[in-house]
Structure 1
Amino acid sequence: MKSLLLFLTLLLLSGASFAQKVTFDDYKKRGDACFVKQDYQCAKDNYERALRIRDNDAYCKSQLKKVNDALKKASTQTPPKKTPPKVEKESENVRIAELNRKEGDDLFKRGDYEAAQKKYEACLNVPSFGSDAYVKEQIKFSRLAAAFLTDAKNALARGNDLEGLAYLKKILEINSGDPITRRLITEHLQQRGNQQFAKNQFIEAKKSYEEALPYADIQTKAVLANLINTTEKELKADTEKKAEAAKVAKQEPKTASKEPVAETKKTAENKPIEPTAKQEVVKKEDAKLPKSPSKPSVVPKIITAGVGVGALAYAFVLNNQYQAKLDNFTALSRSAEYRQWRVAYDDVKAARSKNGLMNVCLGVAVGAVIVESVLLFKKPKEKRAALKLNSASQQWGLALQYQF
């Protein structure tokens, strides 16, 4: 009995010694560790135990207040609800449909109607979006604009400018901000104006440039403004030149046309009448004498042929130079570089100034062909003998006559 009591006493003493080993700092450290892990209940228990040992500790009181606020906030929050699988699938479909519709709108604004149509059709294939009115309307507009663009390109390829431009303007009625269509209209009108400018059709060229202005971007508008300014200068110079030519033509004196003077009867009566008998004798004597035919000369034919061939060859060279410069000018007319366009135009203008010389060469060549034909096909005239024997008119016998 005594031994049992002794064992219990030792056990109580050892427990008391163990309890005394957990100090204030131990509880404080445990509370801090739990607070960092966001285990607020554990932190609360340890901070309260530390305050039992040292109830005036400001740090533990502050931490305990934070822990109680965190526990209170956690108790008021409701746990997140799980979204059913069906709702998640519908949300994903909406996201895909809206993405396709947005991409279709971007392509439509850029003028890529075929690609936009595919995106809109993909949007309709998404469940619950098959009857979207906006998407269906955009598909209709995309098909119509693509058809107009194809018709416009075919018409322009055939050289039908009016029809091609009409189709392009119909596209802008559907999509007014289409940059591709606006650029096509601008380039076509600018090229047409350049061709008219090269032909000195300055009024028509100015109209083409002005018609292109509303469809051009900022950079091309500056180029068109320079072209219009240049056209106006050329038009003014051409008008002044024509006015000066008309003024000079009015100042030239008019020369009276000379009318042939009719031969009077008196003049005809004063002519001596030769005896017919003598004429008949002369004709008979001429017929008896041998006639020497004149041989055609080869030198005039060679000279005429050489002049014609040379004139034709030079005219051909001038025409080739003009066509080459005109083709270069037409190719550069699509570029927005005004300086290159101006140099090409000056070359065409210089080559065109030689068109008059080319026409003269062609005229010389045609004249040479006509002369050559006359020389080839015309029969040579027979020349009479230089010495002739005629009967004497005043006495008996023969008279020797020399003809120059």
Structure 2
Amino acid sequence: MPKLIYLFVFYVFLSTSSVLALSKTLLLASAISIDDEYDRYKKKGDDFFKEGKYAEARRQYQNCLEVPGFENDPYALEQIKKCTSGSALRQQVTDAFAAKNNQAALQALNQLLGLNQDDPITKNQLADYYEREGNLLFNQKNYLKARESYIQALKYATTRQETLRLQIRNIDNLLKPASHTGLKVAVGAVAIGAGIYAVLLRNDFQTKMGTLSQVSQTVDPTGSGTIANPTAYQQYLDAYNAAESAQQKNGLYKACIGVAAVATVAELYLLIHKPKKPVRATGLHWQPSSQSLGVAATFTF
């Protein structure tokens, strides 16, 4: 009889230990799941915030607060405040530009950069503003001020850096004396270089678009829009990203075409006309356009 009691007690002990161990395991798994959920929302919020998408980021940080145990999370609460401020400042920028109050718009844009120095939307707005100012000053033949504006635009530009550098170099060439022969050589080199680079950009874009089309037909021959195989989907995604990257250089392509065209006209002009004195900031100019495409000559494709 005592043996049976001992066996019973031992059995109860084992059962209790197993239940406790199982409970601890389930609690640990639940805690990990909750932490993972919070981390997912936090990462999405951080990604949107870095991109300057404050409304989307705020929703993700709000989701963080709805995860059990994170209702008063300091990080999420602080980021929500920043997102609210960012959205308000962005609206101020829109309203100020609409009212043609450039100084108020610049002030709000600089506040946005103080809030989020990686904000690409704000940087592009600043670059666009200074480039427009540079184009206006260039048209007024105020080349020194135009150059300063282009330099400011270059500080903030996330795209079109080469176009802005080209505009600055054009002004530098206008502001210094140039010999007839040296100018013709320089103009010819610009025309050839810009034309070759434009062709390379165009060929790269067409090649990557062709690759994307071939990959699409391979991984999704029915055109259903669904790619179930992960490897095939990654192959398609790589091709798509490459094509999109090439497409983003469209502005630079147009600028190169315009520069090549204007440089060719300039070359013909210099062959026909022989200036009696060094050519300065008068005569034929490679004038930036008001649409941020680099030069006044425009081409479409």
1:74-129 per-residue CA deviation (whole Å, 9 max, x = no partner) reads: xxxx9893145555433322221121111111111111111000000010011210
Within 2, Cα distance between the matches of 1:344 and 1:152?
Answer: 37
Q: What's 1:224 paired with? A: 164
Could you tell me how far apart the structure 2 residues matched to 1:165 and 1:344 are?
Answer: 35
* 1:361-376 to 2 correspondences below 5 Å: none
Cα pair distance change 1:125/1:344, threshold 3 Å: farther
Match of 1:142 in 2: 83
Give the match for residue 116 of structure 1. 57
Per-residue displacement from partner, 1:301-331 (whole Å, max 9, x unpaired)?
xxxxxxxxxxxxxxxxxxxxxxxxxxxxxxx
**Structure 2, unaligned runs of 5 or more:** 1-16, 178-249, 267-282, 284-301
Query: CA 1:155 to 1:340, structure 2 compared with 1: closer, same or farther past 3 Å?
Result: farther
Q: Could you tell me which residue of structure 1 aligns to residue 70 of structure 2? A: 129
Contact 2:130 2:149 in 1 (8 A): yes
Residue type of the alignment partner of 1:174: L
Higher relative contact order (CA 8 A, sep 6+): 2
Pick closer, same or farther for the CA change 1:91–1:111 going to 2, 3 Å.
same
1:338 aligned partner, one-letter code: A
C-alpha separation in 1, matches of 2:136 and 2:261: 12
Question: In structure 2, what is the Cα distance between the partners aligned to 1:93 and 1:339?
Answer: 53
Q: Which amino acid aligns with 1:232?
A: D
Question: Is the radius of gyration larger for structure 1 or structure 2?
Answer: 1
Q: Deviations over 1:282-312 (max 9, x none)?
A: xxxxxxxxxxxxxxxxxxxxxxxxxxxxxxx
Q: TM-score, normalised by structure 1?
A: 0.39
The percent identity for this pair of structures is 28
Does 1:179 pair with 2:120? yes
CA distance in 2, matches of 1:175, 1:197: 32
Which of 329, 334, 338 is residue 255 of structure 2 equivalent to? 338
In 2: Cα distance, 1:172 partner to 1:344 partner: 38
Per the alignment, residue 152 of structure 2 pairs with: 211
Structure 1 residues 153 and 339, CA, compared in 2 at 3 Å: closer, same or farther?
A: same
Over 3 Å counting, the alpha-carbon distance change for 1:344 and 1:170 in structure 2 is farther
Counterpart-to-counterpart distance in 1, 2:58 and 2:109: 19
Distance 1:338 1:216, change over 3 A: same
Measure the CA separation in 1 of the matches of 2:257 and 2:141. Answer: 19
State the partner residue of 2:92. Answer: 151
Structure 1's 81 and 158: CA in aligned 2 closer, same or farther, altered over 3 A? Answer: same
Once residues 118 and 149 of structure 1 are traced to their aligned partners in structure 2, the CA distance between those partners, rounded to angstroms, is 17
**Which position in structure 2 is the counterpart of 1:3?**
none
Q: Distance in 2 between matches of 1:232 and 1:108?
A: 39
The match for 1:356 is: none
Q: What letter is aligned with 2:131?
A: Q
What's the CA shift for 1:343?
7.6
Q: Alignment partner for residue 40 of structure 2, among 88, 99, 124?
A: 99
Residues 227-266 of structure 1: per-residue CA shift (max 9 Å, x gap): 11111223346xxxxxxxxxxxxxxxxxxxxxxxxxxxxx
Q: 1:233-312 to 2 correspondence within 5 Å? A: 233-236=173-176
Residue 162 of structure 2 aligns with an amino acid whose one-letter code is A
Counterpart residue number, 2:195: none
TM-score normalised by L of structure 2? 0.52
> Take 1:196 and 1:103, find their aligned partners in 2: how far apart are those partners?
42
- Report SS of the residue matched to 2:22: coil
Q: Could you give the per-residue CA deviations for residues 352-400 of structure 1, whole angstroms, max 9, x where no partner exists? A: x9xxxxxxxxxxxxxxxxxxxxxxxxxxxxxxxxxxxxxxxxxxxxxxx
Size of the alignment, in residue pairs? 177
Note closer, same or farther for the CA distance 1:141–1:344 as it changes in structure 2 (3 Å cut): farther
Relative distance call for 1:234 and 1:158 in structure 2 (3 A) is farther
Aligned to 1:372: none
Give the superposed CA RMSD. 3.2
| C-alpha contact 1:120 1:139 (8 A) present in aligned 2 | yes
- The residue number in structure 2 matching 1:387 is none
